[in-house]
Structures are given as structure tokens and as C-alpha cells.
Amino acid sequence: MAKPINLPNGRSWKTQTAALAHFKDMLSRHSDNQIVESRSDHDDLVALLERYDAVIIDNPSKIGSGIEHFFRRRNIGEGYSTPGFWVHRTDGTDTDFSYIDAVKGQPKSNAQEFYDACRGAVAADLIAAKKRHFEAYGDGVGRVPCDLSDELISFSEAHLDHAYPTFGQLVVSFRAARGWQHGVPVGVLTPPADTQTTTSFLDPAVAEAFRQFHRGAATLRIISRARNLSMAAGQRRPKIKRPVHLDP
């Protein structure tokens, strides 16, 4: 029976073959030394690299100090030259990684759980920020401009987008800052339990630490949920016309 491949950012494929094809196609769409500019591709690679670090625990962390961007580079050795993904870290260092090894491995289950706990820690902040933005800038019928197209959209039509860094990148950076690249220590996350639909932080101090980290690093904007998510995914570091503020 085929086993699905699930990444911490929520992307999934029904088979390993389908996941490998996705990243092979992504690699083929880039030239040597070209930076991965698409936000959707970037976010998938962030999640894939987190999966890699969770699986290949005997080697130094590929994420290291944090992720700045990804690019394609030739891997050259004795008698061979093949293209591969490389990551450029926030401390200026580069390293290669195998998307094939990352897809075929078995990541620690707490990668997605930690992501979900981070989402839960800032969920109220995000909802409140979106409501304040619509209250402050809405027209006579409560619509605000989409940051990408300038079309007027309602609250239900709007998506609060992490423009840059992506939410996945913020989660990975927070983990790196705490030295948790290879896994979250026991006692940080709530254990599985009946009626528990999502994972949260056991220690309120960790939840508050991520809230403050998120407040200081996130750049948010309102975009159309129906029309512009694909447009947003094509911008790795977009220009923001009307930022959404987390602080009141």
C-alpha cells in the first residue's frame, strides 16, 4: 500500500513517487545558480528541509542558523556533475541537501505538531489584526483593497497573508534560535489525548515567546482568498502596499 508524504507546511502527496516528481519538476524549472523566487516553491523547500533535519539526525543540521533562500547549484564530483538544491542560511553559509533523501525519509512526527502549536499561539493575534484592519480601512460596506490587485474585497473574501517571511520560515527560525532543529524536547508540546484536535504548547512561556517573535518578524497583508493566492506565491520577497499591524 502506498504511503502518503506529508510535510510540516501542510503539503501532501498520496505517494512517494508523486512527491519526488513535484521536487524534480521544481528543480528542472530553475537554472544553475538561480534563486527560488516562487513563495510556494520556497515554502515547500522550507518544509522539506525541516523534514530532512528530522530524518538525518546523525549529520549537522542543514537549517543551521535559519533559512534565507534556496537556489539551484551543480553538485560536482569525480566523474559527475548533477543539479541539486542548496540552501543559503541567515549567517551567510551555504549547504546542499538531497530532496530525494528528504522525501524518502521518515520525519519526526512533532515537526507538524510544533507548526500547529505555533499557529495556535498566534491565531487570536491574527484574527484581531485582520478585524482591526477592516474596521480602520473598510469602505461604506466594509471592504478593503487587496494588496496585490487593489480590488475591494470583504472580510470573508480576504486572506491574511504572511508576505515575508512565510509562516513556515518563521517557525523554522524560531526552532533554530532555541536549538531545536533536530526535534522539540519532550514536555514542550501537549501529548496526544482524546478530543484533542490540535497540538499546543504545554508551557505558556514558550507560546508567549513565539507570539513575541512573530510580532517582531511577521509582515502581513490582506489579499483576495479566491483570486490572488497563486499570485502571492510567485513573490519570494514582495513589496507591501498596506501592511496589517499585529499591535493595536
* pTM for the full predicted model: 0.74
Q: Give the residue among 42, 54, 53 at the shortest CA–CA distance from 11.
A: 42
Of 116-120, 161-165, 236-240, the least confident = 236-240
pLDDT at 197: 61
Taking the C-alpha atoms of residue 148 and residue 230, their distance in angstroms, rounded to an integer, is 11
pLDDT at 38: 94
pLDDT at 108: 46
Give 88's Cβ-side CA count (13 Å radius). Answer: 12
Condensed to tens digits (0 to 9), the pLDDT of residues 143-152 reads 999 999 999 9
Taking the C-alpha atoms of residue 219 and residue 246, their distance in angstroms, rounded to an integer, is 9
Taking the C-alpha atoms of residue 64 and residue 95, their distance in angstroms, rounded to an integer, is 10
In 37-191, the DSSP E strands lie at 67-77, 80-89, 94-97, 144-145, 152-153, 158-162
In the chain, % helix, strand, coil (3-state, to 5) comes to 40, 20, 45
Condensed to tens digits (0 to 9), the pLDDT of residues 57-69 reads 767 788 988 999 9
Run of H or E residues at 6? strand 5-6
Backbone angles phi, psi at 72, to 5 degrees: -95, 135
Give the three-state DSSP class for 88.
strand
Cβ-contact 212, 221 below 8 angstroms: no
Look at phi and psi of residue 125 and say left if phi exceeds 0, alpha if psi is from -120 to 50, else beta. alpha
Check: CATH 3.10.450.40 for 5-104? yes
Run of H or E residues at 126? helix 110-137
pLDDT at 76: 81
Condensed to tens digits (0 to 9), the pLDDT of residues 4-52 reads 899 989 899 999 999 999 999 999 999 999 999 999 999 999 999 998 8
Domain layout of the chain by residue ranges? 5-104, 110-232
